A and B are shown apart, each in its own frame.
Chain A
Amino acid sequence: MKDMRILERDVDATAIKISARDVQVFYGDNHAIKDVNVEIQDKTVTAFIGPSGCGKSTFLRCLNRMNDTIDVCRVEGDISIDGEDIYDKRVDPVQLRAKVGMVFQKPNPFPKSIYDNVAYGPRIHGLAQSKADLDTIVEKSLRSAAIWDEVKDRLTAPGTGLSGGQQQRLCIARAIATQPEVLLMDEPCSALDPIATAQIEELIDELRQNYSVVIVTHSMQQAARVSQKTAFFHLGNLVEYGETGTIFTNPEDPRTESYITGRIG
């Protein structure tokens, strides 16, 4: 986090990675997401902020079709990644999720060794031709997740034995081991202490160079620190979406302003 001067933060606007058009999500009769239109850029950190229950996590889970696992959940509208509709009948969610990695709120490493945690994705997707290949992928992923130095001597130790912050970085390593293009993070720091949070935030900033990162966060400070673009959700609506600097200093919508200044939420 080189600068806290969010107004001057340069957004090197590149290609659009994910675009959502008129997305509606229903949980049974409950209309959870209403008419969301958003365009998420490549090699950018996009933060979703908003009060609890506003639908930001729900929308995030639409982006890799994790909502498919919930029986009563129904998604309408178009979401496309690189111009391809991910809700098309021909799309296999399994393949999609290899391309769109996800990190969850609570660190959830598999109860296996650190090595196996990271190697699992590449194994099931056949990304490694040999053991040496796999070793390389594991090391690379752990290095990119900034945890390699801490675990390189105990790759066979169980992943559940690490501290909370280390576990979360292990989960990030696991998510990037499948070489995704988009990384979704659902409140990745909410279960962590401030020091671990700072480490993860630094990591997110580095990951931006290679991935399009979408992060849901409860903490406005965090959104301000790590993101270039911010989307504010309220009661299932996308209220405002724009550059982080603008949202935090000069929001257009009065609701955004109320939330930013702490009057609602």
Chain B
Amino acid sequence: MTDASLPSSSENRERVSLMAPDARTQKRKAAERRFRMYGIAGIATGIFFLIVLLVSIVSSGAGAFQQTFITVSVYLDPAKLDKNGNRNLEEISKVSTFGYTPLIQQALFDKVQENGIETPLEKSKDMKALISASAAAQIRDVVISNPDLIGETVDFRILASSRVDGYLKGRVQREDVARDKNIDAEHLDLVDALQPFGIIEKTFNMDFITGADASESRAESAGIGVAMIGSFFMMLVVLVLSLPIGVAASIYLEEFAPKNRWTDLIEVNIANLAAVPSIVFGILGLAVFIQFMHLPQSAPLVGGLVLTLMTLPTIIISTRASLKAVPPSIRDAALGVGASKMQSVFHHVLPLAAPGILTGTIIGLAQALGETAPLLLIGMVGFIASNAPDGIASGLLDPNSAMPAQIYEWAKRADPAFYERAWGGIIILLGFLISMNTIAVILRRRFERRW
């Protein structure tokens, strides 16, 4: 060993005190400080926007979880509902909701009179603006399911109209009413007067979570429940198809396939597919599943198939990554005691990779759950106004909607009441996504690194 070529360190070098950092060190330290500041600034910006987003979502959407109801005692007049007096269900069914509307208006009018509230509204018909159009249908359903109620006075909790609801939530202001044909200032006075008696009140609205969509004119009765079922069926299809296909494909590619030009090509293409815009998958689904295979439009089956195509690359990539992360020594150990390739994969490698595969699958599902664009192309925006179970009788093939598509639908509609519901839908969707991602994180934490 000779080090004659190295400069002898001790002689030429100036002696520097350790107490005073030299210029170079100071520069390095400054650079480090700057870098830290950039990082903190980046994170702070991210957190700021996250808070803005959450606050705006919650403040705009919280209203959808509350709804204004009116409590009335409706006299189910036999003269109007059952003219022949024979309680024949068929004849009762012939009376449409228009037959019920006057009864409800009368009931509310009576209530106003009873409580001695003074109002310039002198006719029972003037109550129309306060009552939701779906109230009549609600009472009609009750009467048809129980015709014996006819002739009695029954207490009902009916939906208030969306204007009244908006007034109570601060969405409808008195200034706006001047130009509004649907409601007058007198109505709002009446609402104010009725509130202390508990006749009009705002309560938690379960129907928003469980209910079906409603027509443009009755935002107050629209719910996301049916779309939730549509999303559930789609996720079922996605899970059942993409997990086995994705895992089988990854195991083959990772453990069995020869490494050659073809597998390289496949690998590149899978990576590319993961980056393809989702609307392209929608067009593909439209062309293949609906136009070529003639599967029904708006069906969760088709939506699920399209989302499966979209989720597969995600699942394959994450599964391959977690298979790769299993140390090769485990494979050697299994082969060394005489396990076949298949046994070594299924007995040892796959169980170790399972948490990673599950995490990838859940994240893929969460991505699919929030996907909107491909669903619009295959018509997964069905308008289902009847509640479960009517609307989902045959599940996978019946037309349905999905949560994100439903939110998009609501956001498009004119009535600001629907806008509120769109935000409410986003809260529910986000709730699902956050819980799915939490499950993924918990699974990863719990089962990770067992070797």
Contact = CB atoms under 8 A, between A and B. Distances in A.
Contacts of B333: 104, 108-110, 171, 174
B336 A104 contact: yes
B352 A66 contact: no
A95 B335 contact: no
B338 A94 contact: yes
Contacts, number: 66
A98 B330 contact: no
Interface in A195-226: none
Interface residues of A, number: 29
Contacts of B336: 64, 66, 97, 101-104, 175
B54 interface: no
Given A111-B451, A120-B347, A71 B259 contact: yes
B259 A125 contact: no
Contacts of A94: 338-340
A96 B433 CA distance: 51
Interface string A158-190: 101000000000010011011000000000000
Contact of A97 (B259, B329, B335, B352): B335
Given A71-B258, A71-B259, A108-B332, A125 B450 contact: no
A34 interface: no
Contacts of B18: none
A255 interface: no
A101 B337 CA distance: 6
Given A111-B352, A120-B347, A66 B337 contact: no
* Chain A interface, DSSP helix/strand/loop, else mixed: helix
Nearest to B337: A121
Interface in B323-354: 327, 329-340, 343, 347-348, 352
Contacts of A69: 331, 335
A69, A98, A111: residue with the most chain B Cβ atoms closer than 10 Å: A111
A97 B330 contact: no
A260 B335 CA distance: 34
Contacts of A74: none
22 contacts: A66-B335, A71-B258, A94-B340, A95-B338, A97-B335, A102-B332, A104-B332, A104-B333, A106-B329, A108-B330, A108-B332, A108-B333, A110-B348, A111-B352, A120-B337, A121-B337, A121-B338, A124-B337, A124-B338, A124-B347, A158-B450, A175-B337
Interface of A: 64, 66, 69, 71, 94-98, 101-104, 106, 108-111, 120-121, 124-125, 158, 160, 171, 174-175, 177-178
Given A104-B332, A108-B333, 13 more contacts: A66-B336, A69-B331, A95-B338, A106-B329, A108-B330, A108-B332, A111-B330, A111-B352, A111-B451, A120-B334, A171-B333, A174-B337, A175-B336
